[in-house]
Amino acid sequence: MGKVKMLAKELVIAVGTAIFLSFLLQTFVFEARSIPTCSMEPTIQINQKILVNKFIYRFKSPQRGDIIVFTPPENKDNDLEYIKRVIGLPGDKIEIKDGFLYLNDKLVIEEYVKEKANYEFGPVKVPENCLFVLGDNRNESYDSHAWSEWLTLNLVKGKAFFTYWPIPRIGFFGTEVSSADIGY
């Protein structure tokens, strides 16, 4: 009988520890998400499952090309969260003309967008402590080009870094916008 009690006690401790660690990881480090809209197509599809690193931006700032999860500035009192790509950093000049993105007056080659934008925007300068974000499905995304407020860094929840469902799409997200993508 002593061995059964000891085994039961060890099992309860192991399960309790696993639940506690899972809670800590999901609360402070990683979070699983399901994508409800088409605003990030073709990069992320509707109902695709992703992981978000909620810890990374405690040590560094978002970078151009990062896919981030955030509370939208126009709904900051709401639990609603969006996922978009970082296009502009503080001090950057952003303009969308003839369907193409210009960053600091240079054309950006964006191979990840679904189709070119059917709107004009800017030019605007991204203020300090703010980001400019767009969905990869430019014409079906409610993002920085349509908001009346700037996305401030304190509203960023984390960085999408991995997709685990559906199986054919398993893998890490890269940073698809670099200085090499800016034309001259």
Please state the domain extents for the chain. 31-181
C-alpha–C-alpha distance, residues 64 and 61, integer Å: 10
31-181 CATH, one of 3.30.360.10, 3.40.50.300, 2.10.109.10, 1.10.3720.10: 2.10.109.10
Each residue's pLDDT expressed in tens, for the chain with a length of 184 residues: 688 787 777 777 776 666 665 565 556 557 888 999 999 999 999 999 999 999 899 889 999 999 999 999 987 667 789 999 999 999 999 999 999 999 999 999 998 999 999 999 989 999 999 999 999 999 999 999 999 999 999 999 999 999 999 988 888 876 554 444 444 3
The residue from 54, 84, 144, 159 that is catalytic is 84
Q: Which two tokens mark 32?
A: 């699983």
Q: How far is CA 134 from the centre of its chain?
A: 10
C-alpha–C-alpha distance, residues 37 and 166, integer Å: 16
Annotated catalytic residue 39? yes
- pTM: predicted TM-score of the whole model, two decimal places: 0.82
Per DSSP, the residues of the chain read -HHHHHHHHHHHHHHHHHHHHHHHIIIIIEEEEE--SSTTTTTS-TT-EEEEESSGGGTS---TT-EEEE--GGGTTSS--EEEEEEE-TT-EEEEETTEEEETTEEB--TT-SS--SS-EEEEEPPTTEEEEE-SSGGG--STTT-SS-EEGGGEEEEEEEEEESGGG-EE------GGGB--
Annotated catalytic residue 84? yes
User: What are the phi and psi torsion angles at 140 (to 5°)?
Assistant: -125, 30
